[in-house]
Structure 1
Amino acid sequence: MAKQARAHATRELIVLAAGVVFAEKAYAQATLGDVLREAGVTQGALYFHFESKKALALEVIERQHHLFIETGNDLLGKKIQGLSAMIILSRDLAMQITTNPLVRAGLRLSTESADLFAESARRPYEDWIDTCEALIKRAVAEGDVSSAHEPARLAAYVIASFTGVQSLSQARTKWVDIFDRLEEMWHFLLAGISPADGGSNVPDISLLLRR
């Protein structure tokens, strides 16, 4: 059992180190040597757990995927107004992006090297859209989003908007202004998706993003 525990700890150390490396360097420039130096483990230990750089990158993408889906499922399981839950989801994902190198690495690998990782890079976005679609349907039922919008298409647009906002925030300020940009995004989105009467439960966007 002790040996298994040590092996698990070593694997986690390698994955976390890979997150730091892939968050800072493009996949083509990152090397397993970089990961070894960051993790402080031997080459033999790394190859015991991962047969290649690609296998390690796929594990990073999977971990990032798991964190995002776990966050979405947690919100889906709570009795929270659908529209508020969508805003909270964007806040929580932004927090993960700005504080967790593993998340940044997964996103970078999924975008910069999407062709190389194909299905693994696409699946997190599809699941993310599905989560958003479920929250939109809840918001429509609650009277806070117009039923004129097809939930699946609106969900894809929301996720595309968030992806663009966080990418622009990264490029311009290293995410320093991400919550200001998200607040703007939601003000514009709500103006376009709210029912004609404005909805019955208009959320406080600023409060939800910053609490």
Structure 2
Amino acid sequence: MVKQERAARTRESLVHAAAEVFAEEGFTAASIAEISRRAGVTSGALHFHFDGKTSLALAVEERAGRALREAAAVQGERDRAGGPLRVLVGSTYTMLSLLAEDVAVRAAFALCADTTHSGRMDLRRQWRAWVEELLVGAERAGLLAEGVSPQDATDLVVALTVGLDGLGGFEADQEARQLLHRIWTVVLPGIAGGEAAAAVLVEAFVEAFDEEETD
């Protein structure tokens, strides 16, 4: 049991160290030596747990995907009563926090944009599918503005949010949240005008800052 626990801790350290290096340097520039050094293990110990960089990258992606699914479930449950647009806006604040706090998520987004690495999952594609699902739901509920299609709205939202990792230099502070709020203040009325859009903005903004104050 002790050996199993030690092995689990070592594997955890390696995945975390790999995420840090991938996020900072990219897949190609990342070295086994640097990952081993940060994890505090030898290269031989690393190879005992992983075949190499590719298997480490896959482990990082799996952890990031799990974090994204868990966050989406929490956000969806919290905003269920507010409808799909409320979930959509709230999810972008959640994504901002994940990018600030979870190095595996940052690394996974970097990896899916790296043409030298072919991963099992593409978080950007998952994010796009999540956005489109919510906007299709908003259309069915009659919440989208006249002439706006879910696909066009998805293109816009994804284009604006794939750069969330740059907000606040990965710091989920008030300044970054305020910038995200300003983005939605401009974008959301074009997707869904009227009182519904205004209510969503107010609720999401208040909740985001309430979370920041309690962190």
Q: Is the structural similarity TM-score above 0.5?
A: yes
Does the 8 Å CA contact 1:84/1:208 hold for their aligned counterparts? no
Counterpart residue number, 1:46: 46
Q: How far is the alpha carbon of 1:174 from its aligned partner?
A: 5.3
Does the 8 Å CA contact 2:112/2:124 hold for their aligned counterparts? no
Equivalent residue letter for 2:177: F
Equivalent residue letter for 1:80: A
Gaps of 5+ in 2: 211-215
1:21-77 CA deviation, whole Å, 9 max, x = no partner? 222223332211111111111222210111111221222123222212322233334
Counterpart residue number, 2:85: 83
1:149-191 CA deviation, whole Å, 9 max, x = no partner? 3324422431221113x25436xx5556421221121111112
In 1, Cα distance between the equivalents of 2:53 and 2:119?
A: 17
Q: Percent identity?
A: 26
Does the 8 Å CA contact 1:144/1:198 hold for their aligned counterparts? no
In 1, Cα distance between the equivalents of 2:166 and 2:14?
A: 30
Distance 1:66 1:157, change over 3 A: farther
Does the 8 Å CA contact 2:108/2:123 hold for their aligned counterparts? no
Residue 108 (1) aligns with residue 105 (2)? no
> Which deviates the most, 14-23 or 132-141?
132-141
TM-score (norm 2): 0.81
Matches within 5 A, 1:45-64: 45-64=45-64
Aligned counterpart for 2:97 among listed residues 95, 98, 119: 95
Counterpart residue number, 2:180: 182
**Structure 1 consecutive aligned stretches of length 4 or more whose deviation exceeds 4 Å:** 173-176
Gaps of 5+ in 1: none
User: How many residues are paired up?
Assistant: 204
In 2, Cα distance between the equivalents of 1:92 and 1:118?
A: 26
Equivalent residue letter for 2:81: I
Counterpart residue number, 2:126: 127
Distance 1:74 1:156, change over 3 A: farther
Matches within 5 A, 1:139-158: 139-146=138-145, 148-158=147-157
Does the 8 Å CA contact 2:58/2:119 hold for their aligned counterparts? no
1:122-157 CA deviation, whole Å, 9 max, x = no partner? x32222222222322333344433364332442243
Residue 36 (1) aligns with residue 41 (2)? no
Counterpart residue number, 2:24: 24
Residue 202 (1) aligns with residue 164 (2)? no
Distance 1:142 1:200, change over 3 A: farther
